[in-house]
Amino acid sequence: MAATASRSEAVKKLQRREAWRRRIPLLPALLFTIVVTQVPFLFSLWYSLTEWKIVPPEPRQFVGVDNYVDLFDSRFFREAVWTSILMTVFAVLLSVILGTLIALLLDRKFFGQGFVRTLLITPFLIMPVVAGLVWKNQMYSATFGVFNWVIEGLGFDRIEFVSRWPLWSIVIVLVWQWTPFMMLIILAGLQGQSASVLEAARVDGASPRATFFQITLPHLRPYLELGVLLGSIYLIQVFDHVAVITGGGPGSTNVPYFVFQRSIGGGWQFGLASAYSIVVVVASIIIATFGLRVLSGLLEGEDPA
């Protein structure tokens, strides 16, 4: 009895030592990561608990959670949150759906496949500011825009897209930029699918539709999740597009732009702005975690037999 006890003790000790042997080489990297990522976060956290305005810059006062209380009382902040949610959800969903459709089209052999793929990827490689400018001036503009040129050619009146649908003007550009990214991820997924599984489905008499929904889509699940996750994390922080296209016009001020307005954009309330950004970080983490759970649950629902 005693022998087995001491033996399991020894095993535990060995396991502990093994665990540390693996951790130690990672420590410097971990420390570096903490310094680079967590320290600024802690600073923000500290600022968010102070009242800090540019005039007068000092003294900074510790005000506890006052900023947070103000923030949730603020109608403008709630609106910005809502705008952020709409913007992210629409942009991510539309780009995932479009990206999947295009990937399905590209996932068959045709002449010039590589060339077409490269062409399709370019929007993703364009700088957000440039994309915003191009769309604002070349596409949406009432005077110079391609859309209005077409609309007028068809005999209708010109439309001020940006002021009429500020949120959608931004979402469309985001979708335009992010569809190629989603397409790439989904395409990788499609090409990783075993050819014989698809042949088995054909022999089993599955229609293309059934094959897509019952075999291809479940296979693509991790790829879709990855696309949604990366897309959400990035798109919740979108700033450039808002700044360039609408400049925060009605209904298009998302949280990052709101934070900017309240701090260096003229509000000069750094404490409050820090509180906003902390809320966004926490919200993103929650959304990313729960969003994925929900999505997995939806796709997992496979009927047995």
Partner 1 sequence: MAEVRYENASRIYPGSEIPAVNELNLDIDDGELLVLVGPSGSGKSTALRMLAGLEFVDQGSVYIGENDVTLSPPQDRDIAMVFQNYALYPSMTVAANMGFALKQQKVPKAERMERVREAARILDLEEYLDRKPKNLSGGQRQRVAMGRAIVRKPQVFLMDEPLSNLDAKLRVQTRTELADLQARLGVTTVYVTHDQVEAMTMGHRVAVLKDGVLQQADRPRTLYSKPVNRFVAGFIGSPAMNLIDTDVTSEGVAIGTLGLTLDPSVSSALTAQDDREVTVGVRPEHLKLSTAGLPGEVTVVEELGSESFVHVTVEHRGEPLVLVVRDAGETTTTRGDIVHVDVAGPTHVFENGGARLGE
**For partner 1, the closer CB: 58 or 303:** 303
* Window contacting partner 1 (CB under 8 A); options: 29-37, 65-73, 112-120, 216-224: 216-224
Q: Binding of partner 1 at residue 305 (CB under 8 A)?
A: yes
Q: How far is the CB of 141 from partner 1 (least distance, A)?
A: 47
**For partner 1, the closer CB: 197 or 282:** 197
Q: Binding of partner 1 at residue 208 (CB under 8 A)?
A: no
Determine the Cα–Cα distance for residues 124 and 87; give it in Å rounded to an integer: 18
* Bond preceding residue 56 cis, omega within 30 of 0: yes
Compose the 106-145 pattern: x for residues touching partner 1 by CB under 8 A, - for all others: ----------------------------------------
Sequence-distant (6+) residues with CB within 8 A of 154 are none
Q: Binding of partner 1 at residue 158 (CB under 8 A)?
A: no
Residue with tokens 């629409």: 90
Query: What ranges make up the beta strands (E) of 100-252?
Result: none
Compose the 167-206 pattern: x for residues touching partner 1 by CB under 8 A, - for all others: ---------------------------x-xx-xxxxxxxx
Q: How far is the CB of 302 from partner 1 (least distance, A)?
A: 6
**For partner 1, the closer CB: 215 or 288:** 215
Residues binding partner 1: what is the number (CB under 8 A)? 22
Nearest 10 degrees: CA dihedral of 48, 49, 50, 54?
Answer: 0
* Window contacting partner 1 (CB under 8 A); options: 65-73, 141-149, 158-166, 215-223: 215-223
CA 95 to chain centroid, in Å, comes to 11
Q: Binding of partner 1 at residue 298 (CB under 8 A)?
A: no
**For partner 1, the closer CB: 215 or 226:** 215
Determine the Cα–Cα distance for residues 220 and 289; give it in Å rounded to an integer: 19
In sequence order, the β-bridge partners of residue 64 are none
**For partner 1, the closer CB: 4 or 194:** 194
Helix orientation angle between 75-106 and 255-262, rounded to the nearest 10 degrees: 140
Angle ∠(72,77,83) on CA atoms, nearest 5: 130
Residues in the chain: 305
In sequence order, the β-bridge partners of residue 275 are none
**For partner 1, the closer CB: 78 or 202:** 202
Q: Look at residue 292 and give its three-state secondary structure.
A: helix
Determine the Cα–Cα distance for residues 142 and 26; give it in Å rounded to an integer: 56
Both structure tokens of 18: 């093994």
**For partner 1, the closer CB: 9 or 199:** 199
Q: How far is the CB of 221 from partner 1 (least distance, A)?
A: 8
Question: Which parts of this chain interact with partner 1 (CB under 8 A)?
Answer: 194, 196-197, 199-207, 210, 214-215, 218-219, 221, 302-305
